[in-house]
Amino acid sequence: MDKVYHFSAPGRTEIGGNHTDHQHGCVIAAAVDMETTAEVTLNGTNVIRVDSEGYKPVEIDIGDLKIREEEKNTTAALIRGVAAAFAQRGYKLAGFDAKVKSTVLPGSGLSSSAAFEVLIGRILNGLFANGEVSAIEIAQIGQYAENVYYGKPSGLMDQMASSVGGLVFIDFHDPKTPIVEKVDYDFAHSGYTLCTIDSGADHADLTDEYAAMPIEMIKVAAFFGKEVLREVDEQEFYAKIAEIRKETGDRAVLRAIHFFNENRRVQMQVRALKNDNFDAFLHYVNESGMASWTLLQNVIPAGYIEKQDMAFTIALCQQLLGGEGAVRVHGGGFAGTALAFVPNERFGQFKEAVEAVLGADHCHKLQITENSPELA
């Protein structure tokens, strides 16, 4: 009987730093107790077969790892991209069959795609690289697959949080060598329950909306001859803001303002947690949520009038919380989930009230989980 290997990768939650990573900014993120798992057997061929529960099986030939335009936005592209990155590093790959199951729901805001990329990276690392590839490099490989093969211009936060595990502060000033620091704070003792609330809206048709955020921020950076906003001097930005408006339009300017404020706010959130000042931390979470709505503008897709699922979800949660705790858009935005911190004694009532309006199983309690010893 063929030997069966077991691998897993967790979903992630973004605690702070909404759309800062692609501008080489700072984030706080965490691996959570929803994961993607695989049972893997070598198959003696040159074909990687991935059979994910609920989806059609996907096959790629490791003899051909070139980018395929017709594969953009597909699972095959992610697998091929991760495999290509390992092959480029000199590792000899072989075919295998992987049966994949996931409790990281697609569109949940917990980054099912990053968990999948990290899972494939861990499989290849375990089977063919003798575990030599670090958690940070596996994350970078996942981002490479998503950016280059899949065709989505994402930052590195999702993959890094899934790959590294626990609660982490990440500074992407140099994305080739990001600074990753464990944040020693136990949310279980905060008196609040961390949860996501599913808005019911789908990400599927929103690729252009997501792509516009980094594109517009980069336009502002380009005004100064820079590649990303992290390289732009904030005082110089405000000194020339009237000229920038004419060059880039208002939305790009507002999104740049968000970046500067949010990047600073992440560091204030970390300081609040280190000082065990959870009230200050919650204040910054709410502040971040309002900035995402008004400046970053990733709550309501452009032109959507009748369907404003995320805005409705956040407003509902705010009413139910009545000024306690915190709620904000989570992850990419527009669809998927909101993130909330709910007082422990009110969580049962909160979940019941949310699901009475949005539907059963729309409120998910999360726990932060350690999953990699590499940065312990």
Residue 327's domain is classified under what CATH number?
3.30.70.890
* Domain shared by 306 and 343, yes or no: yes
Q: Residue 84 falls within a domain, yes or no?
A: yes
In this prediction, residue 372 has a pLDDT band, given cuts at 50, 70 and 90, of very low
Burial of 95 (0-12, 13-18, 19+ CB in 10 A): middle
Give the whole-angstrom CA distance, residue 87 versus residue 61. 13
Q: Do β-strands 58-61 and 192-198 pair in parallel, antiparallel, or remain unpaired? A: unpaired
373 assigned to some structural domain: no
Residue at a domain's end among 136, 168, 185? 185
Distance CA 338, CA 146 (A): 23
Q: CB-hemisphere CA count at 13 Å for 190?
A: 26
Same domain, 148 and 205: no
pLDDT at 157: 82
Instruction: Judge whether 372 lies within some domain.
Output: no
Q: Which residue has the higher pLDDT, 153 or 249?
A: 249
- Is 277 inside a domain boundary? yes
Confirm if 126 and 110 have CB atoms less than 8 A apart. no
Give the pair of three-digit tokens for residue 315.
């407003």
Number of folded domains that form the chain = 2
Domain of residue 139, residue span: 5-185
Identify the domain boundary among 170, 185, 200.
Answer: 185
Instruction: List the structure tokens of 320.
Output: 């139910």
> Is the domain of 26 the same as that of 63?
yes
Q: Give the pLDDT confidence of 192-214 residue by residue, as tens digits.
A: 999 999 998 776 677 788 889 99
Looking at the fold, whether 220 and 132 belong to one and the same domain comes out as no
The pLDDT of residue 371 is 61
* Distance, CA of 103 to CA of 91 (rounded, Å): 30
Structural domain includes residue 370: no
**75-84, 185-194, 197-206, 330-339: segment of lowest average pLDDT:** 197-206
> Of 151, 185, 219, which residue is a domain's last?
185
Residues 268-283 pLDDT 10s: 999 999 999 999 999 9
Q: What is the pLDDT of residue 49?
A: 97
* pLDDT of residue 376 exceeding 60: no
> Could you report the per-residue pLDDT of 131-175, keeping only the tens digit for each?
999 999 999 999 999 999 998 877 788 898 899 988 999 999 998
One domain, residues 338 and 253: yes
Looking at residue 129, which CATH number applies to its domain? 3.30.230.10
The mean of the pLDDT values for the chain is 92
92 in a structural domain? yes
Kindly provide the b/e burial profile for residues 197-217, where b requires at least 16 CB atoms within 10 angstroms of the residue's own CB. Answer: bbbbbebeebeebbebbbebb
Q: Quick check: 244 pLDDT over 60? A: yes
Give the pLDDT confidence score for residue 374 in this predicted structure.
40
Q: Do 141 and 227 fall within a single domain?
A: no
| One domain, residues 162 and 245 | no
27, part of any domain: yes
pTM comes to 0.85
Task: Tell whether 218 and 163 lie within a shared domain.
Answer: no
311 and 344 fall within a common domain:
yes
- Judge whether 376 lies within some domain: no
Q: What is the mean pLDDT of residues 242-246?
A: 98
Q: Which two tokens stand for residue 45?
A: 């061929």
Same domain, 172 and 215: no
